[in-house]
């Protein structure tokens, strides 16, 4: 297929977008040690503002939510000021920003957090994954099971973070319910062994995700809230069962979330096109789809097929700040330097050349 399907305008929540591309959320670990984004972060996002909808890297809503070192937060006044520089840079170039709210849950380590406490999760089941810490790779420890009161505190943390994002000038927030992090842990039967109202059945495992989404819709408006899900994504030690189980889980969850009329559903897709089509049919607003392994010629395929309204770009956009222009002109693309993906300074972050300087 051609890329022509990408160049149509779209209304998403309160935004009028001129095309069907967006920046996918990607952890880059360039914030200050206290979680405040600095000038380099603002420069990075400002460079990519032509993508229209900029979805930020995962941003912790609390100290408990931090998974990795040098990731941004959005729960202190300093965080709000740092993010304001980012939103100002993007808005100056005509783009819009949704800050992704990511609570890592058990995918964390005490050495990576400001309070150095044990990670939290729906159940005291370790992810058994290696995680990078300031002293090198370590195993994720056994997490502390959240109490019922802790769960309500966590919902309140998300609510506060969403309000803080809007105070920082963001156009909205994306709830990270994917990729093995806290919300995904609640959804997964191998990570959630609870016997209360937040575990057991599909309906109860979905409850926490729905409560977070409802709280954020109430706090900042449903048209400024998106959510990311990744059915059957085996990251962070997650295993969601067989195909029938995954389909039942996500058709129920997306059906419940659809009633909230959120701005968008963002799917990190791993190959079940039947499920993708059914979720597209359930969802009343915009659908964003990211697939692993797309080549340049395949970027528009889901939009052209009616499976998606927007095709967010990850590594293509990481290495090409002017990716929209390059795609329009069929121009060559910069290649990603994998050694500079996480942490460091400008190298491999803000120094990828644009066409004008190539």
Query: pLDDT (tens digit, 9 = 90+) per residue, 181-192?
Result: 999 999 999 999
Identify whether the C-beta of residue 58 lies closer than 8 Å to the C-beta of residue 176. Answer: yes
How large is the average pLDDT for residues 159-169? Answer: 98
Task: Identify the pLDDT of residue 356.
Answer: 81
Q: Does the pLDDT at position 358 exceed 80?
A: no
Please indicate whether residue 181 is annotated as part of the active site: yes
Catalytic residue among 75, 181, 349, 352: 181
How large is the average pLDDT for residues 90-102? Answer: 98
Provide the terminal-to-terminal Cα distance of the chain, rounded to the nearest Å: 28
Identify whether the C-beta of residue 100 lies closer than 8 Å to the C-beta of residue 59. Answer: yes
**Reduced to 3 DSSP states, what percent helix, strand and coil does the chain have, rounded to the nearest 5?**
40, 20, 45
Angle between helices 148-167 and 202-220 (to 10 degrees): 30
Q: Residue 228 burial (CB < 10 Å; 0-12/13-18/19+)?
A: buried
Query: pLDDT (tens digit, 9 = 90+) per residue, 231-240?
Result: 999 999 999 9
Q: Does the pLDDT at position 2 exceed 90?
A: no
Task: Identify the pLDDT of residue 292.
Answer: 84
pTM of the model: 0.97
| Percent of the chain with pLDDT strictly greater than 90 | 97
């Amino acid at each position: 297929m051609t890329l022509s399907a990408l160049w149509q305008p779209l209304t998403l929540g309160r935004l009028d977008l001129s095309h069907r591309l967006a920046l996918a959320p990607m952890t880059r670990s360039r914030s200050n040690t206290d979680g405040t984004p600095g000038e380099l972060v603002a420069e990075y996002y400002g460079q990519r503002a032509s993508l229209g909808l900029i979805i930020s890297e995962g941003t912790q809503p609390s100290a408990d939510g931090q998974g990795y070192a040098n990731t941004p937060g959005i729960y202190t006044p300093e965080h709000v000021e740092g993010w304001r520089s980012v939103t100002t840079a993007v808005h100056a170039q005509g783009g819009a920003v949704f800050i992704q709210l990511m609570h890592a849950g058990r995918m964390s380590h005490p050495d990576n957090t400001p309070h150095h406490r044990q990670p939290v999760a729906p159940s005291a089941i370790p992810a058994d994954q290696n995680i990078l810490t300031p002293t090198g790779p370590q195993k994720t420890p056994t997490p502390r099971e959240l109490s019922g009161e802790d769960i309500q505190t966590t919902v309140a943390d998300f609510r506060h973070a969403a309000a803080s994002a809007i105070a920082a000038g963001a156009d909205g927030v994306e709830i990270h319910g994917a990729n093995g992090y806290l919300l995904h842990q609640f959804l997964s039967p191998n990570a959630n062994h609870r016997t209360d109202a937040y575990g057991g059945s599909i309906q109860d495992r979905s409850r926490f995700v729905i409560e977070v989404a409802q709280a954020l819709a109430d706090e900042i408006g449903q048209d400024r809230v998106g959510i990311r899900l990744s059915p059957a994504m085996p990251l962070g030690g997650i295993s969601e069962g067989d195909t029938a189980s995954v389909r039942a889980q996500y058709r129920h969850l997306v059906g419940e979330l659809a009633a909230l009329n959120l701005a968008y559903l963002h799917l990190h897709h791993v190959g079940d096109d039947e499920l993708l089509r059914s979720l597209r049919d359930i969802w009343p607003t915009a659908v964003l789809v990211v697939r692993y392994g797309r080549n340049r010629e395949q970027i528009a395929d889901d939009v052209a097929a009616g499976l998606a309204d927007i095709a967010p770009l990850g590594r293509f956009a990481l290495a090409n700040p002017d990716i929209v222009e390059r795609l329009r002109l069929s121009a060559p693309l910069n290649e990603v330097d994998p050694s500079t993906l996480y942490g460091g300074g400008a190298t491999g972050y803000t120094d990828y050349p644009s066409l004008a300087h190539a």
